[in-house]
Amino acid sequence: MVTVMDRPSTDQVWQWLHQIPDPEIPAISLTDLGIIRDVAWADDTLTVTVTPTYSGCPATSIINMEIETTLRAHGIDKLALKRQLSPAWTTDWMTEEGRQKLEAYGIAPPQPAGGPKACPRCQSDNLERLSQFGSTPCKAQWRCRDCLEPFDYFKCI
């Protein structure tokens, strides 16, 4: 039972959330993705505000479940998950750490120019787009013309 006196700090909660992997791209965490918008206590109830990446993203309900499971395991029993649509999620909210983890995982991180900067495998910039959509709504399919490997590009929105 969490009381106002011994409730964990919001910084602590952010750290716990930082440990939860994205269900579809487990290389990065929910906080890397920038979809956790706020963590706040009101008396003994913790409110976590989450924004969806895409309105049809099937991972949204799993993400909520994982947040709930993780925080309950840390003893937080009064928990409210709030969905926030506006301002709409943007890849600008992805952390620098998240972008590096994506690239190391083989997914080119989002670029303002609208296409990947370099092949995540060989760093070549000789690239071509195969399809505007990839294995999830948030990605597109590209291919490196030098190493010939296809790869996912995290779309910039």
Binding positions for another protein, rule: CB under 8 A: 52, 54-58, 85-89, 130-137, 141, 155, 157
Query: At its nearest, how many Å lie between another protein and the CB of residue 51?
Result: 9
Residue among 36 and 76 whose Cβ is closer to another protein? 36
> In this structure, how many other beta carbons lie within 10 angstroms of the beta carbon of residue 148?
10
Query: At its nearest, how many Å lie between another protein and the CB of residue 138?
Result: 9
Query: At its nearest, how many Å lie between another protein and the CB of residue 133?
Result: 4
Query: At its nearest, how many Å lie between another protein and the CB of residue 134?
Result: 7
Interaxial angle between packed helices 10-18 and 59-73, expressed in degrees from 0 to 180 and rounded to the nearest 10: 130
Torsion angles phi and psi, residue 107, rounded to 5: -110, 125
- Give which of 129, 132, 126, 123 is closest to 145, Cα–Cα: 126
Reported as type and span, the H/E element at residue 144 is strand 139-144
